[in-house]
């Protein structure tokens, strides 16, 4: 396992972690400059932040600052109530692949969607089996396009508490079943994003990481699970402040040959987003060295 204690060369910052500074929205160009100033080598930007800046200007600044990407957040949301909705998701996912290509991302991270309408507050139906079928079908269509663009897709299984509104794929096992179904040859076109926040509790985690192997481990996301957790979405902890044994999970991922970035992804409306960007980044660097 790599020694992270002496430097932060393998730290990537998911731009959601510094989406706000002192509760004020921070534009992507300022995030990029702050990361470069802290000698952070990689980022994983979100599409809305890229869209606000413009894809081409963002790509230009990323290159000018010598930053790499550890992923692109995010595609997916495959579920819908009708054909028009499914088609709109397909179109949006093709755009995500194109943007990822222009930005130089190694993969598009996918949050697959749950029951349609649930995210807006009212689910259109209760048939999670139907949602899962739409995910399989939509993912297959996106994969065809992504293959032609040479852009790998990383399914991110989300914690089961998000099954209704964000993702009905909730375990590494389920995500890898989709990989087996859609890319049985293990070409590297389809894999998983292992986010410790979502999967740390899973008794099958170590075995499923082994099953994924090098070809299917496309991203590694870190933060921590706080007790108590006060908000289901925006109360993620800084690495080391919660109950996840992050080094143990990293050792499992690296035992498979994963040698990429460890991406800090912390949504924290009541704590970190209230602080100054420099403090957030300094703490990410310190915790990357001591708790990851
Ligand atoms: Zn993640």
What are the domain boundaries of the chain? Answer: 11-290
List CB-based neighbours of ion ligand 1 within 5 Å: 195, 221, 265
Question: Which strand (E) or helix (H) includes residue 22?
Answer: none
Ligand 1 center from residue 198 Cα (angstroms): 8
**Which is nearest to 37 in space by CA: 288, 269, 244, 281?**
281
Ligand 1 center from residue 149 Cα (angstroms): 23
Q: What share of the chain has pLDDT > 90, as a percent? A: 100
Token duo for residue 223: 């933060």
Ligand 1 center from residue 106 Cα (angstroms): 15
Q: What whole-number distance in Å separates Cα of residue 13 and Cα of residue 69?
A: 9
**Is the CB of residue 261 less than 8 Å from the CB of residue 11?**
yes
Ligand 1 center from residue 223 Cα (angstroms): 9
pLDDT tens digits along 208-228 = 999 999 999 999 999 999 999
Model pLDDT, residue 134 = 98
Ligand 1 center from residue 233 Cα (angstroms): 12
Q: What whole-number distance in Å separates Cα of residue 277 and Cα of residue 18?
A: 6
pLDDT tens digits along 169-189 = 999 999 999 999 999 999 999
Residue 14: half-sphere exposure toward Cβ, Cα within 13 Å: 22
Ligand 1 center from residue 6 Cα (angstroms): 25
pLDDT range class, residue 290, cuts 50, 70, 90: very high
pLDDT range class, residue 59, cuts 50, 70, 90: very high
Q: Report the pLDDT averaged over residues 38-67.
A: 98
pLDDT range class, residue 236, cuts 50, 70, 90: very high
Q: Domain spanning 11-290: which superfamily?
A: Divalent-metal-dependent TIM barrel enzymes (3.20.20.150)
């Amino acid at each position: 396992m790599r020694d992270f204690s002496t430097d932060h060369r393998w730290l990537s910052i998911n731009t959601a972690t510094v989406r706000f500074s002192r509760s004020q929205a921070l534009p992507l160009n300022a995030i990029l400059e702050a990361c470069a100033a802290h000698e952070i080598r990689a980022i994983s930007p979100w599409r809305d932040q890229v869209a606000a800046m413009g894809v081409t200007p963002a790509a230009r600044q990323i290159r000018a600052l010598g930053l790499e990407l550890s992923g692109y957040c995010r595609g997916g949301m495959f579920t819908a109530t009708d054909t028009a909705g499914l088609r709109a998701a397909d179109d949006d996912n093709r755009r995500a692949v194109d943007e990822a290509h222009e930005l130089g991302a190694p993969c598009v991270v996918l949050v697959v969607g749950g029951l349609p309408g649930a995210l807006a507050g009212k689910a259109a139906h209760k048939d999670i089996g139907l949602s899962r079928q739409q995910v399989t079908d939509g993912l297959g269509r996106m994969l065809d396009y992504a293959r032609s663009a040479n852009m790998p897709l990383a399914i991110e299984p989300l914690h089961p508490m998000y099954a209704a509104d964000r993702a009905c794929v909730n375990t590494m096992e389920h995500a890898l079943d989709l990989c087996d179904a859609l890319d049985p040859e293990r070409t590297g076109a389809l894999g998983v994003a292992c986010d410790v926040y979502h999967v740390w509790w899973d008794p099958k985690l170590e075995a499923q990481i082994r099953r994924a192997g090098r070809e299917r481990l496309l991203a590694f996301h870190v933060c921590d699970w706080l007790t108590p957790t006060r908000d289901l979405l925006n109360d993620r902890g800084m690495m080391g402040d919660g109950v996840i044994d992050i080094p143990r999970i990293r050792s499992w991922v690296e035992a498979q040959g994963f040698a990429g970035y460890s991406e800090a992804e912390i949504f924290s409306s009541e704590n970190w987003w209230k602080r100054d960007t420099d403090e957030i980044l300094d703490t990410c660097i310190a915790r990357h060295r001591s708790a990851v």
